[in-house]
Homo-oligomer: A and B are copies of this chain.
Amino acid sequence: MGQNDNQNTVPAIHRAIDVIEFISSSQRELSFSEIMDNVDIPRQSLIRILNTLCIRGFLDKSSQRGLYRIGLKFLYLGHGLPDKFELRTAAWKSMKALSQKTGKTIELSSLDRDQLILLEQIRGSEEMSLYSRVGSVIPYLHAVSVGKVYLALMEPDKRRRVLKKIGLPAMTRHTITDMARLEQEIQETQARGYGFEDQELREGVRRVAAPIFNSNGKHVGCIGLSAAVFSFELDDLDQYGRMVREAAEKTSAELGYVSNS
């Protein structure tokens, strides 16, 4: 909190965003003093900030003298994402088809600011708690099928930069934490044309993902399929891999991509 480094910014906006992000991170409603204790803003100013954000719908207050929470405006504003939306439209048909064919959870993800972000999702039959939410982000490229695809298609120096920034932290006991092992995995991903993840992010979940390219040949996203281990045997890997690759290729075609291999 507090990147007041740059001169060409507005302190008041930084503070407002600090407040928003703190409330969001807490995942529940917060009292005024809880917020006060966790952001470095004087009482009077904080009151003004909270007021402003409430008036504009960026925060909600449960009652007159109540608790603060993130406003529904954020759901609403989460739309005006023009180019990512194009991707969503293009991918929709293939995702739906894949969902009907497999009954599994199908996801559309993209890379933004070196993090994976979930853009769209068609849920399978797993229980609610297993799902990520649309819009959620994951910085651990090394632990996710989608991330491996991104790593596999990245410029080597960008790959090094990204991997250096987050390292290879273990999310489960299956996470790849050895760089040589990861290099090998990346090569396999390149060879197969799809990425695979075996309980490396979450215990009990397997995932495959394949890349989508736009008309300029740029890698703009991935279509992924995920399922619990008991409904996604290792024997199914090739089959599901082929399927997500097909779905992703169809989406690429939709975007005007022509393979030049």
**Residues on A facing B (Cβ under 8 Å):** 3, 6, 8-14, 16-17, 20-21, 23-29, 45, 47-49, 51-53, 55-58, 60, 69-70, 72, 74-84, 89, 92-93, 96, 112-113, 117, 119, 122-123, 125, 128, 133-137
Contacts and interface: CB of A to CB of B under 8 A. Distances in A.
Contact of A82 (B3, B28, B84): B28
Given A13-B49, A74-B80, A92-B128, 18 more contacts: A9-B48, A9-B55, A10-B16, A10-B45, A17-B56, A17-B58, A20-B77, A60-B112, A69-B81, A70-B77, A72-B112, A72-B113, A74-B78, A76-B136, A77-B135, A78-B134, A79-B133, A89-B128
A89 to B, nearest CB: 6
A81 to B, nearest CB: 6
Contact of A12 (B10, B24, B26, B70): B10
Contacts of A58: 17
A75 to B, nearest CB: 3
Given A9-B48, A48-B9, A52-B14, A29 B75 contact: no
A80 B23 contact: yes
A158 to B, nearest CB: 16
B75 A6 contact: no
A113 B24 CA distance: 20
A27 B80 contact: yes
A80 B82 CA distance: 23
A49 B128 contact: no
A27 B82 contact: yes
Contacts of A23: 80
A99 to B, nearest CB: 10
A83 B6 CA distance: 37
**Assembly of this chain: how many copies?**
2
A160 B123 CA distance: 40
Contacts of A52: 9-10, 13-14, 17
B80 A117 contact: no
- Top-3 shortest CB links A-B: A75-B135, A24-B80, A12-B12
A117 B72 contact: yes
Contacts of A119: 75
B136 A79 contact: yes
18 contacts: A3-B55, A10-B12, A10-B45, A10-B49, A13-B53, A24-B77, A24-B79, A27-B80, A29-B82, A69-B80, A69-B83, A74-B78, A74-B80, A75-B135, A76-B117, A76-B137, A79-B133, A93-B128
